[in-house]
């Protein structure tokens, strides 16, 4: 019996070891360190190539986004610089970022950058989602080990609730912990209409730099939230964040 328990614990440990490894395997830390080194040496083109690969894979940090914005602004690509700064603002909202985006886009006022305290908390959880899931998985391993080591001594259902709760939290975090779906207006000028058709009533005419909350997608249109009302915008005029 002790040998069977040992084999079981080894298998459980191996399984969760692979789980934790898969959570972090996407982050190519050595490559990012090389990119940062290239950036410090002012080899911006080579650094940007590495940053872009990670960005397209959904792997980025506030410092990386700032460096990408710096590089793209330096080559005169204000649109991409604005995109990276807008992503940075989601992770670290501050007035300086808004001022910089206004300068890049030539806008006096920007819509869509309001972030409530509750949303900042959600964005914080999304940013550290992998660490959160990894920590919950580790606690689950410890919980299963305790349950198995105690065996028949733990007969009451209350002893099993922590494990079930951890499994539920891991499932919810993996599948439902996502930030809001937003987009950055990138075309000049961009029409915002009341219906997903060219015949829809005109609501607003905007320039690049504004952000919209995307509610759904329909053909060539996005249904968005614009100034607390439902509106529509062509997909070609928006870059999803």
Average pLDDT (130-155) is 79
Tokens of 65: 């986004």
Residue 229 included in any domain: yes
**The two three-digit tokens of residue 27, written as one number:** 């982050």
Domain membership of residue 72 (yes or no) is no
The encoded tokens of residue 81 equal 């610089």
In a domain, 130, yes or no: yes
Last residue of a domain, one of 180, 207, 232: 180
Burial of 140 (0-12, 13-18, 19+ CB in 10 A): buried
- Which segments of the chain are extended strands (E)? 182-185, 190-193, 202-206, 211-218, 221-226, 229-234, 238-240
pLDDT at 25: 43
Token digits of residue 164: 């079930």
pLDDT at 21 over 80: no
CATH of residue 228: 2.30.30.40
Is residue 194 a part of any domain in this protein? yes
Where is mean pLDDT largest: 65-69, 116-120, 163-167, 184-188?
65-69
Residue range 217-232, pLDDT digits in tens: 888 999 999 988 899 9
Helices 129-150 and 2-24, axial angle in degrees (round to 10): 180
The reported pLDDT for the residue numbered 147 is 77
User: Given 180, 206, 228, which residue is the final one in a domain?
Assistant: 180
Determine the pLDDT at residue 20.
46
Q: How far apart are CA 12 and CA 144, in angstroms?
A: 9
Instruction: Check whether residue 171 and residue 191 sit in a common domain.
Output: no
pLDDT for residue 10 is more than 60: no
Q: How far separated are the first and last CA of the chain, in Å rounded? A: 54
- β partners of residue 185: 238
Q: Which domain holds residue 157?
A: 115-180
Within-domain flag for 41: no
Res 23: pLDDT: 44
Last residue of a domain, one of 158, 180, 202: 180
When the pLDDT of each residue in the chain is averaged and rounded to a whole number, the result is: 82
pTM: 0.67
Phi, psi of 63 (to 5 degrees): -65, -40
Specify whether 172 is located in the same domain as 194: no
Residue 217 pairs in a beta bridge with 222
Name the CA radius of gyration of the chain, rounded: 23
213 close to 179: Cβ distance less than 8 angstroms: no
- Same structural domain for residues 206 and 216? yes
Q: What does the pLDDT read at residue 199?
A: 85
Whether 70 is in a domain gets the answer no
Q: Quote the number of domains for the chain.
A: 2
103 found inside a domain? no
The counts of H helices and E strands in the chain are 9, 7
Q: What is the pLDDT of residues 155-211, one digit of tens each?
A: 666 777 888 898 898 888 888 777 778 889 988 889 999 999 888 898 999 888 999
Q: Domain for residue 33, yes or no?
A: no
């Amino acid at each position: 019996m002790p040998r069977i328990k040992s084999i079981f614990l080894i298998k459980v440990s191996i399984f969760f070891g692979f789980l934790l490894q898969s959570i972090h395997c996407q982050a190519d830390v050595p490559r990012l360190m090389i990119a940062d080194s290239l950036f410090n040496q002012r080899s911006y083109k080579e650094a940007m190539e590495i940053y872009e690969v990670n960005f397209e894979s959904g792997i980025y940090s506030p410092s990386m986004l700032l460096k990408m914005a710096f590089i793209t602004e330096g080559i005169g690509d204000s649109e991409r610089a604005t995109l990276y700064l807008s992503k940075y603002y989601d992770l670290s909202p501050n007035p300086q970022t808004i001022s910089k985006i206004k300068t890049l886009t030539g806008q006096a006022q920007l819509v869509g950058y309001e972030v409530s305290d509750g949303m900042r908390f959600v964005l914080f959880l999304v940013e550290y989602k992998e660490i959160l899931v990894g920590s919950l998985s580790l606690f689950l391993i410890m919980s299963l080990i305790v349950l198995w080591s105690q065996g028949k001594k733990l007969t009451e259902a209350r002893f099993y609730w922590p494990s079930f709760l951890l499994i539920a939290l891991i499932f919810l975090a993996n599948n439902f912990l996502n930030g809001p779906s937003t987009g950055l207006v990138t075309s000049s000028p961009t029409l915002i209409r009341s219906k997903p058709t060219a015949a829809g009533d005109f609501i607003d005419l905007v320039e690049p730099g504004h952000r919209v909350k995307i509610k759904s997608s329909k053909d060539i249109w996005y249904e968005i939230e614009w100034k607390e009302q439902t509106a529509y915008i062509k997909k070609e005029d928006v870059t999803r964040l």
